[in-house]
Amino acid sequence: MADVIKPDEVDHRDEGLPLVDDRSKWTRKEVLVVASITLIKTADSIEMYLPGVITQSVACQAKLSKLAENFLGISFFVSLAISTLFFGLIANKWGTRRMLLISQYTSIIFNCYLCHPYLIMSH
């Protein structure tokens, strides 16, 4: 049978202490974690915002109708989903580190290529 604890046998000495230490100063690790999470969330929100801006810019420069602009946005997200599937399969074969480097460098190259006309016009 289970032991029954009587109320007078319970140790009440620790009841007044908080469960978590009340510190007024953050540790360096806590500051780095909060800063990292903030950067990740900011980059994630920018990443989700940019496709809408890019499709509007392309549609404006190409003088596309609203329907064509919407199809441009849909094709962007569909191609993003398909490429995610293929990159997952390729990453299993080649390794995730190599795929992250390839993704990073192609992103840098294509962004420089796409921003090149804007950089020339700004001078």
CB-based burial, 5-30: b 16+ in 10 Å, e otherwise: eeeeeeeeeeeeeeeeeeeeeeeeee
- In order of 36, 60, 91, the CA distances from 69 in angstroms are 35, 9, 32
Encoded tokens for 69: 């602009």
| The pLDDT value given to residue 39 | 86
CA angle (69 as vertex; 66, 70 as ends), nearest 5: 90
- Which residues have a Cβ under 8 Å from the Cβ of 76 and sit 6 or more positions away? 51, 54, 55
Q: Residue ranges of the chain with pLDDT lower than 70?
A: 1-24, 114-123
**pLDDT in the model for residue 20:** 62
Write down the pTM of the prediction.
0.42
Cα angle 46-48-52, degrees, rounded to a multiple of 5:
100
Q: What would the pLDDT profile of 13-42 be if each residue is shown by its tens digit?
A: 656 656 666 666 888 898 999 998 888 888
